[in-house]
Amino acid sequence: MPEQHAVIESLVRPFAAMTPAGQPTRATQSCVGGCPFLPEGAPWPTYDGDRLSFLAQVDFAEVPPLPGFPRAGLLQWFVARTGSYGMTYDESAGTVGFEARWYSAQDLTARPQLAPGDPLPFASRSPGPAGDGGWGRAVAFTLEDGVPSREELDSLEIASYRLLREADPDWELYESDDNPQSYGSGSKVGGYPYPVQNDPRYRFPDRCPTLLVQLDADLVMWGDAGAAQLFGDLSSTWWDWACA
C-alpha cells in the first residue's frame, strides 16, 4: 500500500476549477460566451470565410498561481459555427476550425471594441456552443488538486503511469475511497483532462499534451453532455471535443 500511495501522490497536479460567477463587468474579465475582448483594430477570427463563435476567455490575473502557467494575460478560445464546431476527423483533427488568441497584460490596456452585454457587430449565421454575444457568464476560479483518469493511465506510455499499473494492476487502490484525489472532471484551467470519449493525446503523441483549458457541460453544453479541451502552450495550441 505505501508504494501505491506514493505513486499516486506523485501524480497529483493542481488546477483551477471554473464555476459560474454572474455577469461579467469588464471586457477583459474571465467568462464563457458573451463578448470577447477585442482591442481596437483587431479583426474577429474567421474560418473558411465565416466568423468564429466566441467560446471563452481566461484572465490569468484572476487564476490562482499554477506551475508553468502565466500570472497575467488573456487567453481566448473561438470555434467554428459548423455542426461539428470545426472539428475534423482526419490527421488535421484539432488543428483547424478554431483559434486561440493570447493578449499580454499590456495588450489589455487597449480600448475594447465591445463591452459585456453588447450585441455582436455582425449577423450570426448560427450560434456556437456558448451562444453569441450578450452577457455570457463570468467565471470564478478555485485551486484544487487532481490525478489522471483511468483511461489516461491505461493509454499513455509515461514512466510513472507504468509504475502505477505495475503497483496496482487491478486498480483496487486507485478506485477505492482510500485514494482521496479526484479525477478532476468539470471546467478548469490546467491539471489533467477528462475526455468524455477517447483521450485525443493517444492519437497524436507528437503534439503538446499540456491541458490549458477544459470546458465541461457544467459551463458549456457540447452535444449531449460533452466536454472540450484546449491543449498546448501559448505559442501552439490544438483542441478536441466529444459528447457522451
What are 188-197's pLDDT values in tens digits? 999 999 888 8
Q: Supply the pLDDT for residue 100.
A: 98
Q: Supply the pLDDT for residue 39.
A: 96
- Can you give the C-alpha Rg of the chain in angstroms? 19
Give residue 241's identity as a one-letter amino acid code: W
How big, in percent rounded to 5, are the helix, strand and coil portions of the chain? 15, 30, 55
Q: Supply the pLDDT for residue 180.
A: 61
Q: Name the residue with higher pLDDT: 226 or 182.
A: 226
Q: Supply the pLDDT for residue 176.
A: 77
Write out the H or E segment, with its range, that includes residue 3.
helix 2-11
Is 2's pLDDT higher than 70? Answer: no
What are 125-154's pLDDT values in tens digits? 777 888 888 889 999 999 999 888 878 888
Task: Please give the share of the chain, as a percent, with pLDDT higher than 70.
Answer: 95
Q: Supply the pLDDT for residue 221.
A: 85
Q: Supply the pLDDT for residue 198.
A: 83
DSSP state of 209: -
CA distance 12 to 1: 17
Q: What are phi and psi of 123, to 5 degrees?
A: -80, 125
Nearest Cα to Cα of residue 153 among 219, 220, 202: 202
Q: Which domain holds residue 162?
A: 2-242
CA distance 98 to 227: 15
Q: Are 160 and 148 in contact, with CB atoms under 8 Å apart?
A: no
Low-confidence winner among 15-24, 105-114, 149-158 (lowest mean pLDDT): 149-158
> What is this structure's pTM?
0.92
Q: Supply the pLDDT for residue 1.
A: 56
Is 45's pLDDT higher than 80? Answer: yes
The 98-103 sheet, strands edge to edge:
98-103, 74-79, 53-59, 31-34, 133-146, 13-20, 188-189, 211-216, 227-233, 236-242
Is 48's pLDDT higher than 60? Answer: yes
The residues, ordered by sequence, that sit 6+ positions from 195 with a Cβ below 8 Å of its Cβ are 149, 151, 227, 229, 240, 242
Q: Name the residue with higher pLDDT: 146 or 27.
A: 27
Task: State the CATH number of the domain containing residue 174.
Answer: 2.30.320.10
Question: If you average pLDDT over every residue of the chain, what do you get?
Answer: 89
- Segment 214-226 mean pLDDT: 87
Q: Which of 44-53, 65-74, 162-171 has the highest mean pLDDT?
A: 65-74
Any bridge partners for residue 74, and if so which? Answer: 59, 103
Total structural domains within the chain: 1
What are 165-188's pLDDT values in tens digits? 887 788 877 877 766 666 667 999
Neighbours of 128 (CB within 10 A): 20
